[in-house]
Amino acid sequence: MDAFDLNGKDLHSIGIKENSQLVYEFAENLNKPVIGGSDTHHQLQYGCIFNELEKDCNTVNDLKDIILKGSYTIRISEKLHEKVQSATEQKAIEKKMMEAIINK
């Protein structure tokens, strides 16, 4: 494991400040960096959290080097809560629709 991620849904449900503190403290204790990771399972959640790299990246080794050097900035959307909530609601609607189709 090379890094720990700030998860978009966790930032929403736990709170940005609270979750960030937990993740950063945990990662620091293990001497690992923290990256943004949206764990996106629905298109409405895209962009709720992402990493802005300071240089181009073409390989996995390039990406690992950028992360380990801290050559990136984590960006959290001002619409994080709206994006995650909308995705959660939409997934619930889709689940109900699928259940209705299956149970016909």
Structural domain boundaries of the chain?
Answer: 4-102
Segment holding 73, helix H or strand E: strand 72-76
Distance of CA 17 to the CA centre of its chain: 14
Q: Which residues of the chain have pLDDT under 70?
A: 38-39
> What pLDDT score does 71 carry?
97
> What distance in Å separates the CA atoms of residue 10 and residue 16, rounded to the nearest whole number?
8
> What distance in Å separates the CA atoms of residue 102 and residue 85, rounded to the nearest whole number?
26
> What pLDDT score does 16 carry?
95
> What pLDDT score does 38 carry?
67
